[in-house]
Amino acid sequence: MSSHNASELPILCSSGQLLLQPLWDRVRAREALTQSPLFAVLFSITTYVGFCLPFVVLDVLCPWVPALRRYKIHPDFSPTARQLLPCLGQTLYQHVVFVFPLTLLYWARGPAPWPREAPELLQLARHVVGCLLLFDAEFFAWHVLHHKVPWLYRTFHKMHHQNTASFALATQYMSAWELLSLGFFDMVNVTLLQCHPLTVLVFHVFNIWLSVEDHSGYDFPWSTHRLVPFGWYGGVRHHDLHHSQFNCNFAPYFTHWDKLLGTLRSAHAK
Ligand SMILES: [Zn+2]
Ligand SMILES: [Zn+2]
């Protein structure tokens, strides 16, 4: 729903919209900067690395802090520098060589005018959940296909499975085709739902966080799968099982697609 339609003004004046207006005004004040392709790429890298860093620190501390081990899915595993550095290098390389030129091409079409009004809070939440559900379905289909067709697996997805016990920085250790497919799904979904630019930003941050959490190797009491009721969300234990067993839990976040297709394997949470 477009947020600058005159007929919607009474709705847009709700408290939910007023709550986000100061934030949106601040983003809009730096519109030239925030719409630039360099910002988009730097934002994506810093958000990703920023979410990974606490887990990297925990992995370093783990051998000396036994209390941390009870939250680790593989208590005796800690990634070495020889595993961490190629992962970080791959993320930087992909962003410079593939993501930046594509963002530049998109930007060269001309900047899209931003609405003056902030999105309504509930609408933002609905759109973020909608985008996550769509992304989950699209990646599930992509993922099943890239496991079932040996050539697709070998050529495009095997790289992501190099680390059987995953860790935060392994999240984006993937082929360029896989990374660009994920980016394409993101773009399609926010366009399909006509998300407000602030919603797009929030969705990207959420999506990066959830993907890092999926690979973190830590199952904390506040992990997303423990906050979402009825086992609707698989999260870190489910995705870890996918990395170790290959033939189950193909959806990145939610459990309904794997349940429907009989590929759900429950990781009994401690
Ligand atoms: Zn896989
Ligand atoms: Zn993975």
Average pLDDT of every residue of the chain: 90
Ligand closest to CA 168:
2
Ligand closest to CA 164:
2
Residue 3 has pLDDT above 50, yes or no: no
Ligand closest to CA 247:
1
186 in Cβ contact with 204 (< 8 Å): yes
pLDDT band at residue 264, thresholds of 50, 70 and 90?
very high
Question: 247 C-alpha to center of ligand 1: Å?
Answer: 8
Residue type at 22 in one-letter notation: P
pLDDT in tens, 195-236: 999 999 999 999 999 999 999 999 999 999 999 999 999 999
Residue 270 has pLDDT above 90, yes or no: no
Question: 193 C-alpha to center of ligand 1: Å?
Answer: 27
Distance between CA atoms of residues 106 and 111, nearest Å = 9
Question: 64 C-alpha to center of ligand 2: Å?
Answer: 27
Partners of 218 in beta bridges: 72
Predicted pLDDT at 91: 96
Predicted pLDDT at 5: 43
Predicted pLDDT at 135: 98
Sign of CA dihedral 59, 60, 62, 63: positive
pLDDT in tens, 142-197: 999 999 999 999 999 999 999 888 899 999 999 999 999 999 999 999 999 999 99
pLDDT band at residue 15, thresholds of 50, 70 and 90?
low
Question: 171 C-alpha to center of ligand 2: Å?
Answer: 6
Sign of CA dihedral 21, 26, 31, 35: negative
Question: 243 C-alpha to center of ligand 1: Å?
Answer: 7
Ligand closest to CA 246:
1
48 in Cβ contact with 94 (< 8 Å): no
Question: 147 C-alpha to center of ligand 2: Å?
Answer: 13
Average pLDDT value for residue range 126-146? 98
174 in Cβ contact with 99 (< 8 Å): no
202 in Cβ contact with 223 (< 8 Å): no
For residues 156 and 15, which has the higher predicted lDDT (pLDDT)? 156
H/E segment holding residue 40: helix 37-61
The tokens describing 246, both together, are: 């290959």
Give 237's contacts (C-beta < 8 A, 6+ positions apart): 73, 219, 225, 267, 269
Average pLDDT value for residue range 61-76? 91
128 in Cβ contact with 202 (< 8 Å): yes
Whole-prediction pTM: 0.89
Partners of 254 in beta bridges: 233
Q: What's the full length of the chain, in residues?
A: 270
The tokens describing 222, both together, are: 């506040």
Give 229's contacts (C-beta < 8 A, 6+ positions apart): none
Ligand closest to CA 172:
2
Question: 244 C-alpha to center of ligand 2: Å?
Answer: 10
Residue with tokens 């207006």: 21
Distances (CA, A) of 76 to 69, 71, 72, 217: 8, 12, 8, 11
